[in-house]
Amino acid sequence: MASPRLTAAVNALPLTAGMRVLEIGGAPGTAARLVARRIQPGGHILINDRSACGVALTERRCATDIADGVLSVRCVAAEDFVLEPGEQPYDLAFAVRVGALDGRHPDAGIRARNRLRAALAPGAPLYVDGTRTEP
């Protein structure tokens, strides 16, 4: 079950059917499952998390959405994220309590924002803790 804070952050996102969404630091998948419901039909959410344990937990908790092709998971730090060959850019990215993006780790934040800028479609927004910011 999502906390009120996490629910509010997801509710603040301008999500529409068919969107490609990137969640940074999304383990164990709680927010992504809320997002997945709002971007259907035709949408997809990729959860990116640096923790292998978090990714494994997400894969277990979100197995149905993964099998349905609505959700996928990747294990990589935000500051190292790159699109895979042939992967389309994302329409929106968001992060809730991610140190590389919320100011706790400024150097990692600079690198992460550069990587996200390259992974997002032109003009696509990045939301950090419910607030729109520039990637």
Q: How many domains does the chain have?
A: 1
Q: Which of the pair, 104 or 58, is modelled with greater confidence?
A: 58
Choose among 30, 44, 40, 37: nearest CA to 1: 30
**What pLDDT does residue 131 have?**
81
**Domain membership of residue 36 as a residue range:** 4-133
Mean pLDDT over each residue of the chain, to the nearest integer: 94
Over residues 30-49, the mean pLDDT reads 97
> What CATH number corresponds to the domain at position 33?
3.40.50.150
Lowest mean pLDDT among 21-35, 51-65, 96-110: 96-110
List the structure tokens of 108: 């990692």
Q: How far apart are CA 57 and CA 110, in angstroms?
A: 28
pTM of the predicted protein model: 0.94
pLDDT of residue 81: 96
